Amino acid sequence: MIRVSKPWELSENQCTPEKLYLDRRQIIGSLGLSCGLVASGAIAKPPAPDLPLVAKTSKWSISDPATPEKLATSYNNFYEFGTDKSDPAKYAHALITRPWAITVEGEADKTGTFSVDDLIRPDELEERIYRLRCVEAWSMVIPWIGVPLRKILARFEPNSKARYVQFETRFEPEQMRGTRWPVLDWPYVEGLRMDEAMHDLTLMAVGMYGRHLPNQNGAPLRLIVPWKYGFKSIKSIVKIRFTANEPTNSWKKSAPREYGFYSNVNPKVDHPRWSQATERVIGGGSFSSLFNRRDTEMFNGYGEAVAQMYAGMNLKKNF
């Protein structure tokens, strides 16, 4: 049988050798990450942001060159710190990310409050180079580090009523200056259908560029759903809720004509105020050039992996 590699997969010779990966894992103890899933009692020390995160290379990575780190950490959407792209890098340092607790509730057999360090198992960390496509028609390619979301959610044993997963961002006006204004109905809420949440492409990220997430990029943990527009990849998560009904996500609640629940990258469905047929590649040439564009790919280029989940759906109606 001849196996044809998928467009997003790395070849075997691009993967970290197993022996090297296992040797490097020995330093993981310095990161303050625990290996068990237990209710948070003692919270681990905050990891030093300059220490590397050790992760194995994932087959799901694309081969595109990464966006320069300086751009990826200074040009952000994170309205909890302001609506300008430069605001998160200016103000997110005020967010205290340790200790950090996540509440799990709803249609699952195991619920409660957990430390972020209880949820992330070091031996499951993967580095995945994913394209992040924003609804404003720009994109970046970022080497994320995290754990497949399905591995985390499975530990809570969701029951048969759990058809969706809802996520909630921290709401702390003293630390998150943008929440002092009613730009959105805070706290920020997002959600996925269960099959989307359990898909192997969906990542719970704790790092990027080999280190822990900067605050402006969603520390200490954020969602990455690479075939959807970036606002679905909710940041600084404090709550996970399993639900029977479709959650009302924040942007759909704010502007239902412009933002849907599914928010799959689709060049054939324009935003009411601009086209989604092309995207500006941040860092892919002249940063300010209007000509630095590429054609938008259906499902952001991940269609072969995810299109079957939407078979028979009207993707213009279910946008």
List, edge to edge, every strand of the sheet that includes 189-193.
Answer: 112-115, 101-106, 237-243, 164-169, 189-193
Digit-coded pLDDT (tens) for 7-20: 555 554 444 444 44
Which position has the token pair 């213009």?
316
Residue 146's pLDDT is 97
DSSP 227-296: TBBGGGS--SEEEEEEESS----HHHHH-TTT--SS-B--TTS-BTTB--SEEEETTSS-TT-TT-EEEP
Residue 272's pLDDT is 94
pLDDT higher at 28 or 215: 215
Residue 40's pLDDT is 37
Digit-coded pLDDT (tens) for 277-303: 999 999 876 544 455 889 999 999 999
Q: How far is CA 154 from CA 147, 199, 201, in A?
A: 12, 12, 15
Residue 198's pLDDT is 98
The helix/strand/coil state of 203 is strand
Residue 292's pLDDT is 80
Q: Specify the pTM.
A: 0.85
Q: Where are the domains of the chain?
A: 12-248
User: What beta strand segments (E) does 29-125 contain?
Assistant: 56-57, 101-106, 112-115
**CATH superfamily assigned to domain 12-248:** Oxidoreductase, molybdopterin-binding domain (3.90.420.10)
Is residue 252's pLDDT more than 70?
A: yes
Separation CA 163–CA 93 (nearest Å) = 36
Is residue 267's pLDDT more than 80?
A: yes
Residue 135's pLDDT is 96
Separation CA 267–CA 316 (nearest Å) = 11
Structure tokens at 296: 């938008």
Q: Are 88 and 175 in contact (CB under 8 A)?
A: no
